[in-house]
Structure formats: C-alpha cells, structure tokens
Amino acid sequence: MRTLLFLLQKEFRQIFRDKAILRMIFVMPILQLVVLPWAADYEMKNIRLSIVDHDNSPYSQELVHKITASGYFLLNTYTQSFADAMHEVEEDRADLILEIPPRFERTLVRENEATLFMALNAINGVKANLGGAYLRTIIQDYNREVRLNWVQLPRFNPETRIEIVPSNWFNPFMNYQYFMVPGILVILVTLVGSFLTALNIVREKEVGTMEQINVTPIKKHHFILGKLIPFWILGLVVLTVGFFLSWVVYGIVPVGSFVTIYVFAAIYLLAVLGLGLLISSYADSQQQAMLISFFMMMVFILLSGLYTSIDSMPEWAQLVTLLNPVAYFIDVIRLVVLKGAGLSEIRQQLLTIIGFAVVLNAWAVFSYKKRS
C-alpha cells in the first residue's frame, strides 16, 4: 500500500510537471468542443449551383428565385449555355447544374408537364447527394405552388395529396450540436484514457526507467495501478471540463442524470485504460505506440456512430462496431444527454463495457511481462 502511494505521488508530480499533458487536458477539450461541432455539420450549405436557363420566363425566374432563397445554394452562374455551366463544374467552381429547357413555361401551362435536367458533380458524393435531394424538394414545392396558384384546377382536386407533419422528439429543433458534442466528449475521454496512458508507460520503457523499476521489489500490480489510477482520474477530469464547456458554449445540460453518465464513464475508463496498457505492452517505443494509437483511433471514430449512423452501415461493419468500446459510450452518452435514459435503460451497454474492462485488463496484465 505504501509502495502504491509512492508510485502515485511520483506519477502525479510528473503529470503536473508535463506541460504537454496539461495542455492536452485543458486546451484539447476547449478546441475540440468549441471548433469541431460547428465545422463537422451534416447539413450541406453553400452548394454552388449553375443554372442554365433556356426559357427566361417569369416561371423560370420564379423557380430560380425560390432556389436561391432557400439558403442552401450559392448561385454561381446563370447562363443560357450548358457548355458554360459544364465548364464551371470542370473547374470545380460548381457542384450542381440545373437546366431549364426552352418553352418551360409554355409546356408547363399548356401540357401540365415539364422536364428539368439536373447534373451533379459526384466527386464529393455527400454534397452531390444532399444537394440533389434539397433541389428536388424545392422543385416539388414549387410544383405544388404552381398547381395551387396558377393552374386552373377542377372543383374537386382529382389528385390526392398526402402531407407529412414531422415532430422531432428528444432534440426538437434538430440542434446539431446536441448530437455532436456528447460524442466528441467520448472521444476526448478515450484519448486520455487509452493513448496518454500507453504513451506514458512506453516512455518509461524508452528512457530506461522501466528497467530500473523492474529490478526494484515493486509488484507488477502496484506498478500497473500506479499508472492506471492517475489516468483514470484525469479521464474523469477531462469529462467534467468537457461538460462544463458544453454547458457554457452550447447550453447543453443532460436531460438524464450525471450519476448515470459518471457511473458508465468510470467503468468505460477502466476498459480504455486496459487498452492503453495493452498497447504499451506491445509497443517498445513511443513512436510505435503513437502509430498503433492513431490506427485504432481512426477505426474507433469511423465505426463509432459519431459521424455516420451505425444503422446504415453494411452488416459486417455493424458487427465490427460491436467490438468498439467507443460506440457503446457514444450511444449511452446520447441516450442520457438527449433522452434522459437512466441506469436501467443502459444496462445492456453497461454490462458489455464491464466485459470489455475485464477482458482488456486481463489480457494486458497477462502480456505485460515484468521479466522476459
């Protein structure tokens, strides 16, 4: 016990003396939480649009006006030549081309039907997809207006129309930050818990103090606890700093209880600390540890549901996410922060993460060789 106290004292002294770690603990959350949620937004804006208008009629003018007024599109060129518009796409100055055919107004009024042509620059698939969808919605809207206002209808509308009125539960204004910020908090906690720990231990290997520790009578479990306890505390500190910031900056207050989040986080940290320990037992230099960490973090983030919904992934990828501890915490933190889930609702995730903690730590302790 006294040995452990000496180890903890040493570890905390080193941590508080290391400016890089302190920066990581306080500056990283600020940067990530303040900057990322604004930049990493699903909504497509500023889609650059080229319109080829062969008609130049009040109807086509009305359509163009409606599109630009939506706020999603920047009208890049308004021309009468498709080649001109295509040139804009080739020069990467436009994402979308909308071509309004000649006699658009006349055919629409006389024959009740008109065809528009839309060309998408699919190099940025997301932009093309969403841009196309937005444009279609606007045109449909326009179509309805045309019917209602301008086209003479029979007394009883022969066409049935279904109108959908959506209501967004748990995040009524579809506030993007509510969705992103808790997820980013999870990533921060994971970084501190696993990769800072791994780097810290590998550093001792690299500079040779590990060998010095190994010839002392320090027990293996004392050494491991001496490393894990400080970073476990740091992880919870980062989480707290993060929650404070998301309250100050975004006004996010969890609907559910902090107790639920911290209980889960405490156990989650044990799991990722085990992962850090495991990395450190396989890496011989900080460089190796860093590379392994980058690789894992990449996979963890992309398969975590932070940016893309797990439900829309192919089946094999969904299976992989089952092995990703980050995915469970992101799921849980969103459930608690947005929906107000309690411990009983997240029981399944809690049990799974306990399993992760046990397996990863057992594996790490097993492979952490005090002697060769």
Partner 1 sequence: MGIDKEKVITANQLTKRFGDFTAVDAISFEVEKGEIFGFLGANGAGKTTAIRMLSGLSIPSDGEATVAGFDVYRQTEQIKRSIGYMSQKFSLYEDLTVRENIRFFAGIYGMSDQFIKDNTARLLHQLRLKEEENKLVKSLPLGWKQKLAFSVAIFHEPEIVFLDEPTGGVDPVTRREFWTMIYEAAESGITVFVTTHYMDEAEYCNRVSIMVDGRIDALDTPKNLKQQYEVGSMEDVFIKLARKATRAD
Measured from the CB atom, the residue of 10 and 144 that comes closer to partner 1 is 10
Report, in Å, the least distance between residue 222 CB and partner 1. Answer: 8
Measured from the CB atom, the residue of 62 and 206 that comes closer to partner 1 is 206
Residue 33 CB coordination number (10 Å): 25
Report, in Å, the least distance between residue 194 CB and partner 1. Answer: 22
SS3 72: coil
Measured from the CB atom, the residue of 56 and 209 that comes closer to partner 1 is 209
Report, in Å, the least distance between residue 219 CB and partner 1. Answer: 8
SS3 104: helix
Helix axes 325-334, 347-367, angle to 10 degrees: 150
Report, in Å, the least distance between residue 16 CB and partner 1. Answer: 10
Measured from the CB atom, the residue of 154 and 217 that comes closer to partner 1 is 217
Measured from the CB atom, the residue of 212 and 285 that comes closer to partner 1 is 212
Measured from the CB atom, the residue of 162 and 215 that comes closer to partner 1 is 215
d(CA 188, CA 275): 15
Residue 44 CB coordination number (10 Å): 18
Residue that has been written with the tokens 């559910």 in this structure:
256
The residue ranges that bind partner 1 (CB under 8 A) are 2-3, 5-7, 9-10, 13-14, 17-18, 207-209, 211-212, 214-218, 371-372
* Structural tokens at position 233: 């505390």
Report, in Å, the least distance between residue 256 CB and partner 1. Answer: 41
Measured from the CB atom, the residue of 164 and 215 that comes closer to partner 1 is 215
Measured from the CB atom, the residue of 155 and 371 that comes closer to partner 1 is 371
Report, in Å, the least distance between residue 362 CB and partner 1. Answer: 22
Report, in Å, the least distance between residue 196 CB and partner 1. Answer: 15
Strand partners, 97: 50, 119
Q: In this structure, are residues 340 and 255 in contact, taking their beta carbons and an 8 Å threshold?
A: yes
Strand partners, 288: none
Report, in Å, the least distance between residue 221 CB and partner 1. Answer: 13
SS3 110: helix
Q: In this structure, are residues 182 and 273 in contact, taking their beta carbons and an 8 Å threshold?
A: no
Q: In this structure, are residues 340 and 258 in contact, taking their beta carbons and an 8 Å threshold?
A: no
d(CA 88, CA 101): 19
Residue that has been written with the tokens 């911290």 in this structure:
262
SS3 313: coil
Amino acid identity, residue 124? N
Measured from the CB atom, the residue of 33 and 199 that comes closer to partner 1 is 199
Length of the chain: 372
d(CA 89, CA 121): 7
Report, in Å, the least distance between residue 312 CB and partner 1. Answer: 47
d(CA 354, CA 361): 11
